[in-house]
């Protein structure tokens, strides 16, 4: 009796209640079932943050204020013309609406005094020049729906940037690339997630070069929503890693941490709500391969966190409200003879579905 009281004194009310409930199987099972459902419902509140993000940041008609949104819409619009310029089949009139939109956006760019040497601005001008030339050379705009409008704009914007001339011939793989030891198949086969790094610093030039390569990844309408935050400062790195649950046992050995983000403001409305993640995944993969090709090792670190941790990350890094975190990435030189898990892949027969 004495022992029973002593145990009870150390138990919280909740524990006592649970203990009591567990003696009634029907009540106990109902309690467990309700608890599971509550947990499931509670986890759905995580979506609230996505909803708020989409509401705040993903609606161009109201939000075309930031430079990022201007850049994104400009890319989006002139990409429609770029695509029109390469379509197969007989040449047809196209691009009237996007051409007008591009001119409006370029005028806004001028008014805002944004840099005139920016590749997006220059690329848009090149596209308009190519469009004008196509309309003229093929006499596609017989009723002058847009040609003179484009012409008069270009008279005041005569800059040409041959390097950005569009369209251009697809470069085919030459034998040098095919014979390179880092041929793609090999690169893909040898990359593995590494969880043990030397303390050797990761050269900035390599990071810059590989981020440049990652920028060549495809993105929806070429809007390029990704950004890479590189953290090497120990205090910030440790604070970020403390928020993440997948680096136990090796976080301390990570010399450089990248936080890869994608900006939802680059997307026109909530119908595109998944695009930041799709583009972010493609970008991250290219970055990983580019780093592997330079002899560096990586390990993706999931950002599957509760909203409060996401807020905590934003207190450490200067993310825009519209940026979503795609993943964290450990980057460094692997320890000599480092071991990695085998991580077998499923049979390709379970992945490739040939539909006849
Ligand atoms: C989005 C994503 C998140 C990941 N998060 C973690 C993580 O938090 N911790 C970790 O040790 N590995 C993480 N990984 C690595 C995977 O475990 C690893 O890619 C997978 O097991 C396949 O192994 P491999 O990369 O060596 O081929 C992550 C991978 C991806 C793509």
Question: Quick one: pLDDT at residue 9?
Answer: 63
Give backbone dihedrals phi and psi of 261, rounded to 5 degrees, phi first.
-125, 165
- What distance in angstroms lies between residue 299's CA and the mean position of ligand 1's atoms? 6
Token digits of residue 324: 């979503």
Spatial contact of 82 and 120, defined as CB atoms under 8 Å apart:
no
CA of 302 to the centre of ligand 1 (A): 7
CATH 3.40.109.10 fits 181-332, yes or no: yes
Instruction: Tell me the sheet residues that pair with 258.
Output: 230, 329
pLDDT in tens, 17-61: 888 888 999 999 999 999 999 999 999 999 999 999 999 999 888
Q: Is 338 in the pocket of ligand 1 (CB under 6 A)?
A: no
Per-residue pLDDT at 6: 47
Per DSSP, the residues of 216-264 read TS--GGG---EEEEEE--HHHHHHHHHT-SS-TTTGGG-SEEEEEEEEG
Ligand 1 atom nearest to CA at 250:
11
What are 263-298's pLDDT values in tens digits?
A: 999 999 999 999 999 999 999 999 999 999 999 999
Instruction: Using CA atoms of 241, 247, 248, 251 in order, give the dihedral in degrees to the nearest 10.
Output: -60
pLDDT at residue number 182: 60
Query: Atom 19 of ligand 1 has which residue's CA nearest to it?
Result: 193
Average the pLDDT over 152-163 and give the result.
96
| 306 C-beta neighbours (distance < 10 Å), count | 13
Q: Kindly indicate the confidence band of residue 64, based on its pLDDT and cuts at 50, 70 and 90.
A: low
Distance 309 CA to ligand 1 centre (A): 20
At 177, give phi and psi (nearest 5°): -65, -40
Q: Which numbered atom of ligand 1 lies nearest the CA of 192?
A: 26
- Give residue 172's pLDDT: 78
Q: Is 246 in the pocket of ligand 1 (CB under 6 A)?
A: yes
**Mean per-residue pLDDT for 123-138?**
98
Looking at residue 1, what is its pLDDT? 42
* pLDDT tens digits for range 212-271: 999 999 999 999 999 999 999 999 999 999 999 999 999 999 999 999 999 999 999 999
Residue 173 pLDDT greater than 80, yes or no: no
With the most atoms of ligand 1 within 8 angstroms of its CB, the residue from 299, 305, 341 to mutate is 299
In this prediction, residue 299 carries a pLDDT of 98
Report which DSSP code applies to 65: T
Asked if the model's pLDDT at residue 102 lies above 90, the reply is: yes
Whether the predicted pLDDT of 62 surpasses 80: no
Q: Is 327 in the pocket of ligand 1 (CB under 6 A)?
A: yes
Q: What percent of the chain shows pLDDT beyond 70?
A: 95
pLDDT level of residue 63 (50, 70, 90 thresholds) = low
Spatial contact of 297 and 159, defined as CB atoms under 8 Å apart: no
φ/ψ region of 231 (left if φ > 0, alpha if ψ in -120 to 50, else beta) reads beta
- By percentage, how much of the chain surpasses pLDDT 90? 86
pLDDT score at 181: 56
Find tokens 């370029």 and name the residue: 106
3-class secondary structure, 299: strand
Distances (CA, A) of 100 to 97, 105, 116, 269: 5, 9, 19, 21
Task: Tell whether ligand 1 has an atom less than 6 A from the beta carbon of residue 157.
Answer: no
What are the C-alpha distances in Å from 180 to residues 109, 185, 192, 243? Answer: 43, 11, 20, 40
Taking a C-beta distance cutoff of 8 angstroms, is the pair 231, 318 a contact?
no
pTM across the whole model: 0.91
Q: Kind of pairing, strands 256-263 and 297-301?
A: unpaired
pLDDT digits (tens, 9 = 90+) for 287-328: 999 999 999 999 999 999 999 999 999 999 999 999 999 999
Span from the CA of 301 to the centroid of ligand 1 (angstroms)? 6
Q: Which of 137-151, 173-187, 190-204, 272-286 has the lowest average pLDDT?
A: 173-187
- The edge-to-edge listing of strands for the beta sheet with 297-301 is 226-231, 256-263, 323-332, 297-301
With a 6 Å cutoff on the Cβ, whether 300 touches ligand 1 is: yes
């Amino acid at each position: 009796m004495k022992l029973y009281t002593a145990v009870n004194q150390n138990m919280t009310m909740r524990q006592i209640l649970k203990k009591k409930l567990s003696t009634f199987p029907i009540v106990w099972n109902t309690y467990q079932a309700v608890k599971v459902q509550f947990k499931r419902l509670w986890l759905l509140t995580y979506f609230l943050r996505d909803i708020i993000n989409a509401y705040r940041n993903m609606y161009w008609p109201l939000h075309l204020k930031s430079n990022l949104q201007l850049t994104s819409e400009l890319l989006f619009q002139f990409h429609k013309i770029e695509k029109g310029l390469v379509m197969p089949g007989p040449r047809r009139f196209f691009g009237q609406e996007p051409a007008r939109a591009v001119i409006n956006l370029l005028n806004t760019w001028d008014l805002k005094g944004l840099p005139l040497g920016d590749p997006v601005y220059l690329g848009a001008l090149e596209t308009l020049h190519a469009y004008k030339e196509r309309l003229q050379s093929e006499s596609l705009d017989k009723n002058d729906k847009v040609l003179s409008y484009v012409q008069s704009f270009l008279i005041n914007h005569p800059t040409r940037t041959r390097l950005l001339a569009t369209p251009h011939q697809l470069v085919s793989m030459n034998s040098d690339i095919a014979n390179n030891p880092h041929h793609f198949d090999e690169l893909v086969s040898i990359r593995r997630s590494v969880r043990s790094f030397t303390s050797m610093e990761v050269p900035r030039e390599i990071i810059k070069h590989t981020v440049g390569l990652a920028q060549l990844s495809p993105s929806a309408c070429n809007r390029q929503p990704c950004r890479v935050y590189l953290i090497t400062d120990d205090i910030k790195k440790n604070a970020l890693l403390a928020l993440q649950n997948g680096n136990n046992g090796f976080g301390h050995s990570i010399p450089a941490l990248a936080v890869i983000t994608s900006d939802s403001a680059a997307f026109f409305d909530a119908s595109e709500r998944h695009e930041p993640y799709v583009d972010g995944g493609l970008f991250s993969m290219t970055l990983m391969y580019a780093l592997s090709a330079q002899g560096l090792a990586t390990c993706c670190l999931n950002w599957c966190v509760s909203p409060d941790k996401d807020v905590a990350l934003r207190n450490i890094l200067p993310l825009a409200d519209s940026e979503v975190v795609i993943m964290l990435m450990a980057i460094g030189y692997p320890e000599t003879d480092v071991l990695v898990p085998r991580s077998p892949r499923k049979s390709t027969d379970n992945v490739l579905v040939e539909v006849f």
